[in-house]
Chain A
Amino acid sequence: MSRRNASLHPGSRTKDVAAPVLLMLLILAAWEALVRIFAVPTFVVPAPSEILAQIYLERAMIFGHLQVTLFEIVAGYLLACVVGFGLSVAIVYSKAFRRGVLPLIVAAQTIPVIAIAPILVIWFGYNDVPRIIITALVAFFPLTVSFVTGLESLESELINFFRSLNANGLQIFLKLRLPAALPNIFAGLKVATTLAVIGATISEWVGASAGLGYLMAQDTQQINTARVFASLVVLGTVGILFFAFIGLLQRFFMPWVYGRPRFLARPRRASPAAATMRAKQIGTSAR
């Protein structure tokens, strides 16, 4: 809970970033060396330098497709958040809903999403909608589970305490359940970022005509392995940035764990004489 956990919540940036970057560089160097030493053909395993070259050479094409995929990722992710949040609130507040709908949701998770992609295309046509739905389908389940876990993580003592202050249901939800759920909510939101990237990519394998997933499917058929890897690297980078962005949001919304951002530190002073008066009155004004 405290700010002291530097390893869990990176505080000393340079040190925490240096190690993984160094490891990454080491792996890439080994990869480059092995590919060159054993003269592995590019269509089997391209060297990192070739992948980077591909990204640079094909940048116009790759970033054109990336825009399509990025839209699906964000739209699908937001859809998953809204649906997951709605479902989790219903599950937490209604026993009937939990008994009736939760098993269905779990069962739905066992269906390989890609199998229903063609059906979604039949229903919604050749546009973004089926792909956004698939992205959301892949991402929403762990989201819902962690939302529910978070909203239920409350001790009954705290609810009793709020009741003793005559709090109403909405106040208990907004001022108690929701803030108490934030750690779990953000854990779910983070897991869902990577799932949304995967979901958007595979959604383009069926009935799509653009997007990095579509491009990768095309390139795989044409054994353009270097460009497949180029797309993969771009997608991976998107995943990392998305994940890091949610991490930033978390730091912003949970200052009691991560400390207050500098620009938000707000010294509060109250000195009006009226307040002193009230403080004196308070002894004699209780109901």
Chain B
Amino acid sequence: MAQARLDIANLRVTYAGNGQAGVTAIEKVDLTLEPNDFVSLIGPSGCGKSTLFNVIAGLQIPESGAVALDGGSIVGRPGCVAYMMQRDLLLPWRTVLENVTLGPELAGQPLARARDTAMTLLHRFGLEGFENAYPAALSGGMRQRAALLRTILCERSVILLDEPLGALDALTRASMHEWLLGIQREFQRTMILITHDPDEAVYLSDRVYVASPRPMRIAGIVPIELPRDRGRDVTLTPEFAEHKRQVLALLHAPERARSAAA
């Protein structure tokens, strides 16, 4: 498989305003992902995280800068990476099975094959027995897992996850973390995860990118030096706490700078 490398350089994104100068959502972002990386992007609400994903997914054209997958530009080219949006966006008129195979279906791949593959994976995603259920009959966590399975079945080496666990309660989240980590290791995808939760970011990632408030810059990168196969217990270690402290320090840096100036 072509393990892909994602390069983002000098990215600047502006929303066109009505008449006046537009809103700059992203001022300057550089980001490099090696194959099989799991990185998190954490930042205040409204700082431009979803905007960054929209640009990587080819849905939005940046004002300047480059986005390259294995050296080839993917600016304005949708379909090169798999993208799980902030909301699960399951189609209510399709069964779970029909929802999760949407990617291959739209790509014109044989439907029977996609379905068989999906059927064998349902169990791994905790959806066994629900293949013919409509999304209305699923719990919040099941919906998120269905959306994630749909994203995995798109068979792209880079996966963008925009707050995939945002809608869940703390308990479900914790169990989903271990599961998500397992999925990433098993399927060997490169994943970028947007989150608001420092614990989640540190626990899941190889690196945490901390974003500044809008217009977005990368305020700092925290490499997570925890073993790759980490159990839940790792969250109780001093190393984990130290990483979390670094992330929080970067997150709150602008506030401190502001209060220092005052």
Interface residues of chain A, those whose CB is within 8 Å of chain B, are 1-2, 157-158, 160-167, 171, 175-176, 179-180, 182, 254-256, 266-272, 274-276, 278-279, 282-287
Contact = CB atoms under 8 A, between A and B. Distances in A.
Given A157-B87, A166-B107, A179-B91, A268 B157 contact: no
Give the residue among A180, A256, A285 with the most B Cβ atoms within 10 A: A256
Interface stretch (B131-139, B212-220, B222-230): B131-139
In this complex, the member of B113, B134, B136 whose beta carbon has the largest number of chain A beta carbons within 10 angstroms is B134
Contact of B154 (A157, A165, A254, A268): A165
B113 A278 contact: yes
Contact of A164 (B58, B94, B119, B187): B58
Contacts, number: 105
Contacts of B85: 157, 160-161, 164
B134 to A, nearest CB: 4
Contact of B120 (A157, A175, A276): A276
Contact of A270 (B91, B115, B155, B186): B115
A174 to B, nearest CB: 11
- Interface extent on B, as a size class? 35 or more
B168 to A, nearest CB: 20
A275 B78 contact: no
A274 B116 CA distance: 9
Given A160-B85, A275-B116, A268 B156 contact: no
A2 B133 CA distance: 12
A202 B106 CA distance: 48
Contacts of A282: 117, 121, 152-153, 155, 187
B159 to A, nearest CB: 9
A256 B78 contact: no
A274 B93 CA distance: 29
Nearest to A172: B106
Q: Which 10 pairs between the two chains have the least Cβ-Cβ distance?
A: A166-B79, A275-B116, A270-B119, A279-B120, A256-B134, A283-B187, A270-B116, A179-B93, A286-B157, A164-B83
Contact of B92 (A256, A271, A283): A256
B83 to A, nearest CB: 5
Given A158-B89, A256-B134, A283-B188, 7 more contacts: A166-B79, A254-B93, A256-B92, A270-B115, A275-B113, A283-B187, A286-B157
Contacts of A272: 116
A186 to B, nearest CB: 13
A49 B189 CA distance: 77
A182 B132 CA distance: 20
A244 to B, nearest CB: 23
A183 B66 CA distance: 43
Given A267-B132, A268-B131, A279-B121, A160 B59 contact: yes
Contacts of A269: 119
Given A270-B116, A282-B117, A284-B1, A162 B157 contact: no
Nearest to A160: B59
Contacts of B120: 270, 275-276, 278-279
A277 to B, nearest CB: 9
A64 to B, nearest CB: 43
Interface string B152-188: 1111110000000000000000000000000000111
Contacts of B94: 256
A90 B258 CA distance: 54
Contacts of A271: 119
Given A157-B85, A283-B188, A286-B156, A164 B79 contact: yes
Contacts of A268: 97, 115, 119, 131-132
A278 B117 contact: yes
B210 interface: no
20 contacts: A158-B89, A160-B59, A165-B102, A165-B106, A165-B107, A166-B106, A171-B106, A176-B91, A179-B91, A180-B93, A182-B93, A268-B97, A274-B116, A275-B113, A275-B119, A276-B120, A279-B117, A283-B188, A285-B155, A287-B155
Question: Could you say which of A179, A268, A282 has the most chain B C-beta atoms within 10 Å of its C-beta?
Answer: A282
B89 A161 contact: yes
A162 B106 CA distance: 9
Contacts of B188: 283-284
A276 B119 CA distance: 9
Given A164-B83, A283-B187, A283-B188, A157 B89 contact: yes
